[in-house]
Structure 1
Amino acid sequence: MYNYSASYGDRYEHKKAQSNLNGFRQSNERFKQFYLNPDYETYIIEYTGDILKAFESISYAAITVTGPVFALVALPKGELNTLLQDIPQIIYVEGSFPFSLSPYKVVNTNDYYNFMDGTNSALNGEGIVVGIIDTGIDYLNPRFMTRDGNTRIISIWDQTLQQGTSPKSIAYGTEFSKEDIDLAIKAKNTGKNPYDIVAHRPENEHGTAMAGIIGGRRLSDKDFFTSAAPNCEFAVVKLKKAKESTLEQTGVDKEGVDVYESADIRMALLYLSELQAKTNKPMVIYTPFGSNVGGHDGGGPIERYVDSLTQRRGLEAVENTGEEALANTHTSGMFSSTGEERIIEVSVDPRQKNLYVSIWMRRPDRVSMGINPPIGNGTGRIPSIFKEGEEVRIQIGESIATIKYYVSFINGDQYVGILIRNAYSGIWKITVYGDYIVNGRFDAWLFQRDLLYEDTRFLINDPFITLRLPSTATSMLTASYFDSETKTPVPIAGRGFTRDGRIKPDVCVGGTNILTTGLNGADIVISGAGAAGAIICGAVALIMQWGLVLGNDKNLFTSKIRTYLITSVTEMEGITYPNPQSGYGMLSFKKLFETLDVL
């Protein structure tokens, strides 16, 4: 029996948050119909006052509250401005943006890196729940079972299945309990179909591989398999694919790529946070996906949502930096004075139908834009004098450019969103006019590389500030990765720091040639950012076991966990730390166990 329990303050805050959510439960079915409708758009909002009462008279939109100031709304295309006029309690609105899975590749080798440094510690993750938001898990894999054949998965929420019972506080998907999964395992062992009981199947091996690194179990004493927390439990969310309306709204048009969306990710975070409070067990959530959409400064809704959830003791979140450093999806520039002009050049692949560019300035700087296509006439200067968030549409030959100017209500920074539909192939030039310059720096991002065709890129690449959201959240524990054999950074790994100058990544870890498990129980060796984040997630699970479950640090919050990680790194001679590629250094599990005094 372990002695972790939430403090009175933790329980009070959860109870208060739950009371704010109770009002929307009776309208779950309506929200489900609206939200899953492919012709309806989804928006993330922040609000003040009694938002549920404000929506009582609205028939064309549905809402679900995800926190004291956050909610999701679903409504028909083209009705957003009407909603904003009808509901003045909405103070901020953002579309549901595209996310993609953390990259990794399967390596054809029998040699793999033992990231546990050959250590033998009493820490094994027991008493800790690892939440994984991904493509699902192979729950029939014995590496996720106890020695007696029972599952270590306490819950699966499959967003793609709509015929079963949804979680109580969430409108869609199907939830499976530990008891359901154990019954399915017994059915398989007796020759019956387990999927008649638990219909969940992983979309691919991604989620299973991440879970294997974090907490896969050895099957015998002769088994060479290694994971960080082999006795942990799992709570799994399988994300559904982004709706067609979301892809259309954001301009994502690349074929053959899996795209997910921020609205579903927020609901997954809500589900896991509520499950953590319900079970009263410490939980670390791994979020192996990312997006380039946002200011990379921790100020976006999904980043602040992560921060709000992890204020509660016993709930942490881990992310990796992605692999955008050499992807030509980030560029930057400097003004020296007001009145200057700078040009951003973007190559558009012939297969690319749409182009999205976001440009960010630091307050109090203000800029305006002009757009010049590869052929024909440009727009000239488009002044930023119209209403905040109002969009301007301009015909450029056969292309249509939509430009929106914003000022962040979090930090006052200006940002500009440019979406060019039916974009000509070739070199587009975006002129940035320095209307008022004090700081001078600007940053621009395209979508993450896997959502773009090969030749869609900035002509000038800036490899820094290429860590993907939500790794930039203040409370997110963030990992980059290095080559396991050479102990040097991998050039493609996403780099910090954040746009507002915070040190990210926190640490790095060997992320090449990592042994894990795939579908149907097969062992595989993988390399990539996703593997590195999974290793750090396992390390955080061990710190939480040591501190909260075993009682060595009852006052364990994110800042302390970050400190334990940082004090457990090795530094390469001649390299200055912290740095944007490896943070404070390379995590050593041996040093971590020495720090925690468990060897």
Structure 2
Amino acid sequence: MTLEEGKRIFSNEYADLLIHYYGNTAMLENFKDATIQIIDYFFAVVYVPVEQVTNKTIMELGYSSMPSLSGIVSSSSMDASNITKLRNFPAFNLRGEGVLIGILDTGIDYTNPIFRKADNTSKIISIWDQTIYTDDFKSNTYYGTEYTQEQINAALQNENPFSIVPSTDEIGHGTMIAGIIAGNDVPESNFYGVVPDAELVVVKLKPAKPYLKEFWRIPETAVCYQANDIMFALEYLEQVAIRLNRPMSICVALGSSLGPHDERADLNDILSKRAENMNFSIAIAAGNEGNAKRHYSGNILSNVGFDSVEMTVGENESGFTLELWGDSPGLFSIDIISPSGETVPRIFPTLRENKVINFLFEETEIIVDYQLVESQTGDELILMRFKKPAPGIWIFNVYGMGTSKLHFNMWLPMESFITNNTYFLQPDPDTTIISLGNSTVPITVTAYNSVDESIYQKAGRGYTRTGRFKPDIAAPGVSVISPALNHGFTEVTGTSPATAHAAGVAAMILEWAIVERNLTTINTIDIKILMIRGARRLPGSSYPNKQWGYGILDVYNIFDSLRRG
């Protein structure tokens, strides 16, 4: 790739296609006027003029070719996890010394004092800002700019630090995550980072391109990021840790309510592969979709032949995506009834089909894609993209063919991608963990209120669509003290702060295992097992379960169980 070709990565005139090429570069040569960027042996991004992306792209290239879009998950925890109790033992005063924290999010306010060491230098090893285009591609990705610790320290000594390092966090989500994990203690504000002696490696993700938001019917103002940019961010974090030969705890507080909701999606697979690497831990948020009424679970009885799904659409809904995933080996088809009573006749399944549906009495347009054998899962997908949906009750009659149990799921987009006035009338709160949280190997974290030990009611619930146990662990996530962009502090709630807390505990385990050389071959699987062994379980409940996973995170119990063992 030349420098001129690299401009396509930023340009809104070019579309990003995510291609699963399995090392066969010959198959990438079929694209016209294309620039190819290899992510790894399995995936490549193909940049083509945006006009080449049409309503038929999914039919021609498959559902996974259009990068999925992930949004940010969120809207006194130290004692709740017994971190303070553990630190009373000198041998276990684990504060993250020698461990790296990997952040891929909205960026970081590097000028905040909580991210400085005692000598006033920065705790940030580097920032890769994907949004700043320069000719300096230290990350070998042909986009973004990398700022080193030396540059950040120079900026902190300057009256105008952003003249040297112009990377900022306009939203605050990344700063919140980084602060909860590794911020300096500020007792007067009742703020304590989990591992304040750890150092940070930060990726500020590039916002999704407008054409992709339009394709997935996501509002222009929504904060979201492309799967290919997340893949490159993971590669960058891993390479920095390998270069420095240090363990890393990565926090992923992003996700989507679309996709298969199991371990087989492309980005889930990548997260699991990287989580298996020695010296690494990856923690992922379960999301806040548990009581949002945006999931439906249906069974088609043989004596009835179909299941009627009712969905209400609110006023002023500009558009959204609705997905139906049918469990194999069943075959599924639908008909649609609009709020005015207009009926779209039953659409029968074919291997790949694309239909554009317009209505006589409504302005609504629905683009329907049938994927009889979706490439990531092998299951059937019916993808419906609504434009100007008429408000009122929509009915979808779902028909099934087959002799086995005919079960299907339907999902609407996550919060901020759709209004709260659009939802299913008979929703199922289970199987609402957001997409990335369904990855097999990473630690999926839900949130609870540490004051009364109640589950956070908005938290996504398990299990995965294929029945795997998720979430894994519950961490404090209600009214957690967090840094704000004004260098003050605020309370935050959700599975994002809970995941940051768990990622900090994972860093404590990495310090004990790798830095102090107690278990030098540790990876995410081992850390997850230690967390599960040490989890505190409430009486009267069986574990694992769909809300709490294996129980409440308790770092003291983790090490106490090793001592007793």
Q: 1:570 aligns with which of 524, 536, 542?
A: 536
Residue 521 of structure 1, CA deviation: 2.5
Q: 1:525 and 1:411, CA in 2 relative to 1: closer, same or farther beyond 3 A? A: closer
Check whether the contact 1:266–1:302 (CA below 8 A) recurs between aligned residues: yes
Q: Which residue of 2 aligns with 1:301?
A: 266
Deviations 1:483-504 (A, max 9, x none): 1111011211111111111111
For residues 545 and 446 of structure 1, the distance between their equivalents in structure 2, rounded to whole angstroms, comes to 41
Q: 2:357 aligns with which of 378, 389, 394?
A: 394
Q: 1:152 aligns with which of 120, 123, 135?
A: 123
Residue 219 of structure 1, CA deviation: 5.7
For residues 155 and 336 of structure 1, the distance between their equivalents in structure 2, rounded to whole angstroms, comes to 56
For residues 91 and 414 of structure 1, the distance between their equivalents in structure 2, rounded to whole angstroms, comes to 12
Residue 197 of structure 1, CA deviation: 0.9
Q: 1:83 and 1:277, CA in 2 relative to 1: closer, same or farther beyond 3 A? A: farther
Residue 506 of structure 1, CA deviation: 0.5
For residues 322 and 411 of structure 1, the distance between their equivalents in structure 2, rounded to whole angstroms, comes to 22
**Counterpart of 2:435 in 1: which secondary structure?**
coil
**Counterpart of 1:370 in 2: which secondary structure?**
strand
In structure 2, give the amino acid aligned to 1:71.
A
For residues 214 and 440 of structure 1, the distance between their equivalents in structure 2, rounded to whole angstroms, comes to 44
Residue 420 of structure 1, CA deviation: 2.0
For residues 181 and 473 of structure 2, the distance between their equivalents in structure 1, rounded to whole angstroms, comes to 17
Check whether the contact 2:281–2:527 (CA below 8 A) recurs between aligned residues: no
**Counterpart of 1:485 in 2: which secondary structure?**
coil
Q: Which residue of 2 aligns with 1:206?
A: 173
In structure 2, give the amino acid aligned to 1:61.
A
Q: 1:81 and 1:324, CA in 2 relative to 1: closer, same or farther beyond 3 A? A: closer
Check whether the contact 2:334–2:397 (CA below 8 A) recurs between aligned residues: yes
Q: Which runs of 5+ in 2 are unaligned?
A: none
Bigger Cα displacement from structure 2, 342-351 vs 258-267? 258-267
For residues 463 and 57 of structure 2, the distance between their equivalents in structure 1, rounded to whole angstroms, comes to 35
- Residues 1:342 and 2:310 aligned together: no
Residue 353 of structure 1, CA deviation: 1.9
Q: 1:273 aligns with which of 235, 238, 241?
A: 238
Q: 1:554 and 1:91, CA in 2 relative to 1: closer, same or farther beyond 3 A? A: farther
Q: 1:349 and 1:91, CA in 2 relative to 1: closer, same or farther beyond 3 A? A: closer
Residue 393 of structure 1, CA deviation: 1.7
Check whether the contact 1:60–1:76 (CA below 8 A) recurs between aligned residues: yes
For residues 186 and 401 of structure 2, the distance between their equivalents in structure 1, rounded to whole angstroms, comes to 65
Q: 1:112 and 1:122, CA in 2 relative to 1: closer, same or farther beyond 3 A? A: closer
For residues 71 and 362 of structure 1, the distance between their equivalents in structure 2, rounded to whole angstroms, comes to 29
For residues 94 and 595 of structure 1, the distance between their equivalents in structure 2, rounded to whole angstroms, comes to 46
Q: Which runs of 5+ in 1 are unaligned?
A: 1-25, 105-110
**Pairing 1:187-586 to 2, within 5 Å after superposition:** 187=158, 192-218=159-185, 224-253=190-219, 256-337=221-302, 340-385=305-350, 387-388=351-352, 390-397=353-360, 398-406=363-371, 407-586=373-552
Q: 2:43 aligns with which of 70, 74, 81?
A: 70
**Counterpart of 1:43 in 2: which secondary structure?**
strand
In structure 2, give the amino acid aligned to 1:534.
A
Q: Which residue of 2 aligns with 1:173?
A: 144
The count of aligned residue pairs is 554
**Counterpart of 2:157 in 1: which secondary structure?**
helix
In structure 1, give the amino acid aligned to 2:255.
G
TM-score, normalisation: structure 2: 0.92
**Counterpart of 1:181 in 2: which secondary structure?**
helix
How many percent identity over aligned positions?
30
Check whether the contact 1:341–1:434 (CA below 8 A) recurs between aligned residues: yes
In structure 2, give the amino acid aligned to 1:212.
G
Deviations 1:374-408 (A, max 9, x none): 125221111112x43x3222222332221112213
Residue 573 of structure 1, CA deviation: 0.9
**Counterpart of 2:416 in 1: which secondary structure?**
helix
Deviations 1:258-291 (A, max 9, x none): 2333232222122212222222211121111110
**Counterpart of 2:334 in 1: which secondary structure?**
strand
Q: 1:520 and 1:432, CA in 2 relative to 1: closer, same or farther beyond 3 A? A: same
- Residues 1:161 and 2:135 aligned together: no
For residues 92 and 350 of structure 1, the distance between their equivalents in structure 2, rounded to whole angstroms, comes to 29
For residues 181 and 49 of structure 1, the distance between their equivalents in structure 2, rounded to whole angstroms, comes to 38
Q: Which residue of 2 aligns with 1:107?
A: none
Q: 2:24 aligns with which of 36, 50, 60?
A: 50
In structure 2, give the amino acid aligned to 1:299.
R
Q: 1:225 and 1:68, CA in 2 relative to 1: closer, same or farther beyond 3 A? A: same
Bigger Cα displacement from structure 2, 368-377 vs 241-250? 368-377
TM-score, normalisation: structure 1: 0.87
Q: 1:136 aligns with which of 107, 120, 123?
A: 107
For residues 300 and 56 of structure 1, the distance between their equivalents in structure 2, rounded to whole angstroms, comes to 25
Check whether the contact 1:337–1:438 (CA below 8 A) recurs between aligned residues: no
**Pairing 1:587-598 to 2, within 5 Å after superposition:** 587-597=553-563
Deviations 1:551-582 (A, max 9, x none): 11122122211110001111111111110100
For residues 62 and 209 of structure 2, the distance between their equivalents in structure 1, rounded to whole angstroms, comes to 25
4+ residue runs over 6 A deviation: 81-85
**Counterpart of 1:207 in 2: which secondary structure?**
helix
In structure 2, give the amino acid aligned to 1:417.
L
Residue 512 of structure 1, CA deviation: 1.5
Check whether the contact 1:41–1:77 (CA below 8 A) recurs between aligned residues: yes
Check whether the contact 2:56–2:354 (CA below 8 A) recurs between aligned residues: no
For residues 456 and 82 of structure 1, the distance between their equivalents in structure 2, rounded to whole angstroms, comes to 24
Q: 1:375 and 1:207, CA in 2 relative to 1: closer, same or farther beyond 3 A? A: same
In structure 1, give the amino acid aligned to 2:150.
E
Residue 57 of structure 1, CA deviation: 7.5
Q: Which residue of 2 aligns with 1:21?
A: none
